[in-house]
Amino acid sequence: MTPDHGPLLYEGKAKRVFASAEADQVLVEFKNDATAFNAQKKAQLVDKGRLNCQISARLFELLEQHNVPTHYCGLVADTWMQVQRVEIIPLEVVLRNVATGSLCRQTPIAEGTALDPALFDLYYKDDALGDPLLTEARVQLLGVVKADHLSAIEQLARRVNEILCPFFNAIDLQLIDFKLEFGVTSGGELLLADEISPDTCRLWDRRRTDANDRILDKDRFRKDLGGVMEAYGEVLKRVQSQCPIPRNCL
């Protein structure tokens, strides 16, 4: 079902953003397009949009219940959510509990090393530049975020990690790392935005020990492991068992 929506405002790799009847809110449609390695690898994954939308909605609600300010207003259809209109800060905010991925490609830190406290990494959100890793001084130099917002972003990202880790643990999933994006409303309020889904989190199944079998996230697509949508479906099934009814805007 496609809800009533205004003109297309923005189209990204995984989502489209449309105007809504409310001036300070927009409608986000989650697409089935999958991309990896800075969009060098592309595919259509049937049902990905619905799975990511439904998982994100429930995780945003969980975070709201724990007083994390998010852009989420409610679901309006299987693949659509209504959110507060924000200007996205062009930073990819990554929290890592276990070393893997780019951290292990770029440093000698061994795959699987536990990171406590979690490692907070910032990347510049720019496809043409390949989303480079930033230092705090470079963030200041770029001027993409106010100093008080940057410290709030780190606090919120760590808070999100503290909420999500036990939540996922309870459903036998280990949160390895994840990426967040933040935005600012016209009134200057900082909100958690974008999505939280197996496209943006690494989640390992605690019920499996095999290093590939346990992967329930986009690494299945990146590494050609197959069963990508089955894995996302399993994540939704377990998330749903804890958060059955998402808020509905209809």
Query: Which residue ranges make up the site for ligand UDP (CB under 6 A)?
Result: 92, 94, 101-103, 131, 177-179, 200-202, 218
Tell the smallest beta-carbon distance from residue 222 to ligand UDP (Å). 7
Of 84 and 97, nearer to ligand UDP (C-beta) is 97
Backbone angle region of 154, left / alpha / beta, with phi > 0 → left and psi within -120 to 50 → alpha:
alpha
Give least dist CB 26 to ligand UDP, A: 21
Report how far apart the first and last C-alpha atoms of the chain are (Å, whole number).
12
50, 232 Cβ separation under 8 angstroms = no
The residue (of 178 and 182) whose beta carbon lies closer to ligand UDP is 178
In whole angstroms, how close is the CB of 130 to ligand UDP at the nearest point?
10
Contact 141, 209 (CB under 8 A): no
Closest CA to 215 of 241, 177, 180: 177
Residue 150 DSSP one-character state: H
CB of residue 173 to ligand UDP, shortest distance in Å: 13
* Shortest reach from residue 125's CB to ligand UDP, in Å: 8
CA 246 – CA 56 distance, rounded (Å):
10
Burial string for 225-234 (b: 16+ CB within 10 Å, else e) reads eeebbebbbb
Residue with the CB atom nearest ligand UDP in the bound state: 101
Of 2 and 138, which has the nearer Cβ to ligand UDP?
138
Q: Which is nearer to ligand UDP, 5 or 71 (CB)?
A: 71
Task: Closer to ligand UDP by CB, 20 or 204: give it.
Answer: 204
> Least distance to ligand UDP from the beta carbon of 202, Å?
4
CA distance linking residue 245 with residue 43, whole number of Å: 30
Residue 28 or 76: the one with the smaller Cβ distance to ligand UDP is: 28
190-193 and 87-88 beta bridge pairing: unpaired
